[in-house]
Structure 1
């Protein structure tokens, strides 16, 4: 190893080139700071190269495959219902390359210095970067840690075989699994189950708890119905006992709620599981930086750690491990370092699942609102009553709204159905601005369109939805 004899001085160093890291770098450069970004692997991080983007390629393909029967109704005929998995893999690689090249180009035009290598803290204002036999030392004014997280096995699983797959491994398979067992109920697990079922795999979902999916109970009920319709088997309240892996299959033994042992056999096991922050390799603990018992770096509202020169964003901090959080925190940290006032409020962070159809949940669920003893009224509008949903053949799902019956302020919006992801930004904005029912009813909505469902569901709060039959009163 060759060690640089002289420390090189830098203004702002960002460790990690994922969505949070490169967003922080670009925003800092826009605000006039000199920025150095250190990445030991590929720009874009796990999200772009192994996680968010690859998974959405598969969910997009699954959604398109589900449209085949409707296309035939439209007169668009296909003599053979063929699917080439290798072409999908090629397309995935193409998309990743294009997006990664775009990130690298953006960093270049913003005059961001990119250094390849593994970073380690030598002091609270100094890091070393190792690449092969080269080791350089950098002194900095501020540093932002954006190194992300890594998956770990559930505590009930001790050994990971080649047929047990983490999220970044599932979308590298070279063929469709014969029978994919999905363990988990978060959005990653649901996307995996939904997409691979559409692409031709047999899928079983295994969930530890009794409640099942993590959404509003109406969404959970609809998702159960749709999974059953698509022959996706869902096993709830299953206590994991053991996992046995052979050359050609994997089997999992569970204890059911009735205390009966049950074995599920498949070709592959997908574990969305838990994740740990990538901080151990940085060597920050020896400088007394405050961390949680799980290793997450504690930060204040400006993303600043207990050591003033060190900031942290994304998965290395507490809270949801989502790219949207990392991006928001990255921009805010950069702005604060540049001398601007910033604020990050994750209260209305949307929960999004790119299933078929997609799911979005923002704000309070009905059950949570009732547990809080809030005076609420609830409305639900079925997409089957929407004209554009009928045209497109996307009639599954609904929009649900929870409103405070006293103030008429919207408390939660939940949707399962086509257009949910695209409409999620509007849902978040409405909750952020403490919108009232009238704020949704007043504007004009394009017709025909999925967006009309939002108007209908809010009008339904007082029984005035045009395309919903009135509720029959008892005794009439």
Structure 2
């Protein structure tokens, strides 16, 4: 086919069927658009097939294994408890297929046209799609780019050795490593370090790029370090990655820092260094589309790029590389295209880690609030003083809230402990509604429940928490 000779006319074309892409497709279809969704691999994208869902299955398996070991204190006796990673892999495959089938069914129910193939722009209103030996041209009214990201590679590491594992292959491990080196300080690195320690690995966590800690609030970091130490995970700080030496017996990671050189030896190496935008194949240069210095596509708060009819969402845009961002951006882009006033704001986007125990946070940390000039006040409450956490035998963790003392405005919510991921939604809603401490204290909270920990953290802001010892409180009259 000669380019430009014949083109299929389409209304809205979406490139990429990941969480951002298929949410955009369904929302646009709900609002009356004829939608064509182009995906070169599998619906659900990286998040469903290689990323979020598989890694969270691993984390859930670790949580259940740890819980099973605690059942004896409830009188639930079991013998011969052991873990088989192959069965967990089978369960992961089952979950992924079930969810992918669900996405496919939803697209079909919403009459979304699915096209298999790799898409690239021929002009600002035309794309080509290749699929094996076939090639088609589509002219569109609007388009949404949702091609996601690909893992940042570790320089100098062989890509063919099965003992070197990235974020796309971690859920396909066929065995539990004996000595597991985890390189990275993001949420995925933390999740996998804790999961494989629970599975039986001897884990060493190496914080990459010489960073001294994690990116959470200082109180969360302090509790997290205590939990890691208690679990037996070794932490290496203050060194940068130099290279890897592979032998038949071991994987040796070479490090260097202000204290000199250091090596860490293990049976496997897992690294998580983030993702980079997957856009090289799209032909954006011929469109002159504006991008950041780091290569991300620049958009406004509706997802519109520098080209009027083309939108971009997800990991290819600036900001946190999270599925929740892609989902929100996808809906907003679809609504904007369909003429509905809509925009996204990532100020209070949640950051979570399905660690043991889980971590969840939104808004400003205490340090960030101080840097922004607020007169900062905080309230903290330990999970060890929560009645329901005691019942569950999961008393590790804390809740921390950050306020502006002048206005009593809530600025941030930070949690580590059982139920943190679910509880953060309450915090986000309060942040979005510009809540003050009295707004959070006024409602009644179910008892006993983890929810009460948030209430008492807010009460602690003014020294009124009931389940804190008096010496830690300064009653404000």
Specify the SS of the correspondent of 1:171.
helix
Q: Deviations over 1:399-455 (max 9, x none)?
A: 011111111111111000000000111111111111000011000000000000011
Residue 316 (structure 1) aligns with: 316
Residue 383 (structure 2) aligns with: 383
| Cα distance, 1:95 vs structure 2 | 0.2
| Cα distance, 1:247 vs structure 2 | 3.3
- TM-score (norm. length: structure 1): 0.96
Name the stretch that deviates more: 221-230 or 248-257.
Answer: 248-257
| Cα distance, 1:6 vs structure 2 | 2.3
- Please say if residues 165 and 270 of structure 1, whose CA atoms lie closer than 8 Å, have aligned partners that are also in contact: yes
Aligned length: 472
Q: Following the alignment from structure 1 to structure 2, what is the Cα–Cα distance between the partners of residues 38 and 389?
A: 46
Q: Following the alignment from structure 2 to structure 1, what is the Cα–Cα distance between the partners of residues 320 and 448?
A: 36
- TM-score (norm. length: structure 2): 0.96
| Cα distance, 1:2 vs structure 2 | 10
Q: Following the alignment from structure 1 to structure 2, what is the Cα–Cα distance between the partners of residues 147 and 343?
A: 20
2:437 maps to 1:437: yes
- Please say if residues 127 and 138 of structure 1, whose CA atoms lie closer than 8 Å, have aligned partners that are also in contact: yes
Unaligned runs of 5+ in 1: none
Residue 234 (structure 2) aligns with: 233
2:361 maps to 1:366: no
Q: Following the alignment from structure 2 to structure 1, what is the Cα–Cα distance between the partners of residues 168 and 243?
A: 23
Q: Following the alignment from structure 1 to structure 2, what is the Cα–Cα distance between the partners of residues 211 and 343?
A: 37
- Please say if residues 383 and 399 of structure 2, whose CA atoms lie closer than 8 Å, have aligned partners that are also in contact: yes
Residue 131 (structure 1) aligns with: 131
Specify the SS of the correspondent of 2:255.
strand
Structure 1 residues 345-360: aligned runs within 5 Å = 345-360=345-360
Q: Deviations over 1:17-41 (max 9, x none)?
A: 0000000000000000000000000
2:178 maps to 1:178: yes
Specify the SS of the correspondent of 2:465.
coil
- Please say if residues 12 and 33 of structure 1, whose CA atoms lie closer than 8 Å, have aligned partners that are also in contact: yes
Q: Following the alignment from structure 1 to structure 2, what is the Cα–Cα distance between the partners of residues 5 and 57?
A: 48
Name the stretch that deviates more: 457-466 or 414-423.
Answer: 457-466
2:394 maps to 1:425: no
Q: Following the alignment from structure 2 to structure 1, what is the Cα–Cα distance between the partners of residues 343 and 467?
A: 41
Q: Following the alignment from structure 1 to structure 2, what is the Cα–Cα distance between the partners of residues 372 and 21?
A: 35
Q: Following the alignment from structure 1 to structure 2, what is the Cα–Cα distance between the partners of residues 356 and 74?
A: 20
- Please say if residues 43 and 100 of structure 1, whose CA atoms lie closer than 8 Å, have aligned partners that are also in contact: yes
Q: Identify if the C-alpha distance between structure 1 residues 289 and 82 changes in structure 2 by more than 3 Å, giving closer, same or farther.
A: same
Structure 1 residues 13-412: aligned runs within 5 Å = 13-154=13-154, 157=156, 159-162=158-161, 163-207=163-207, 208-258=209-259, 260-412=260-412
| Cα distance, 1:161 vs structure 2 | 4.6
Q: Following the alignment from structure 1 to structure 2, what is the Cα–Cα distance between the partners of residues 345 and 287?
A: 27
Q: Identify if the C-alpha distance between structure 1 residues 50 and 173 changes in structure 2 by more than 3 Å, giving closer, same or farther.
A: same
Name the stretch that deviates more: 219-228 or 239-248.
Answer: 239-248
- Please say if residues 3 and 134 of structure 1, whose CA atoms lie closer than 8 Å, have aligned partners that are also in contact: no
Q: Deviations over 1:121-145 (max 9, x none)?
A: 1111111111111101110001100
Residue 462 (structure 2) aligns with: 462
Q: Identify if the C-alpha distance between structure 1 residues 65 and 179 changes in structure 2 by more than 3 Å, giving closer, same or farther.
A: same
- Please say if residues 210 and 257 of structure 2, whose CA atoms lie closer than 8 Å, have aligned partners that are also in contact: no
- Please say if residues 157 and 243 of structure 2, whose CA atoms lie closer than 8 Å, have aligned partners that are also in contact: no
Q: RMSD between aligned alpha carbons?
A: 1.7
Residue 11 (structure 2) aligns with: 11
- Please say if residues 410 and 435 of structure 1, whose CA atoms lie closer than 8 Å, have aligned partners that are also in contact: yes
Q: Following the alignment from structure 2 to structure 1, what is the Cα–Cα distance between the partners of residues 83 and 153?
A: 32
Name the stretch that deviates more: 29-38 or 264-273.
Answer: 264-273
Specify the SS of the correspondent of 1:225.
helix
Unaligned runs of 5+ in 2: none
Q: Following the alignment from structure 2 to structure 1, what is the Cα–Cα distance between the partners of residues 171 and 27?
A: 31
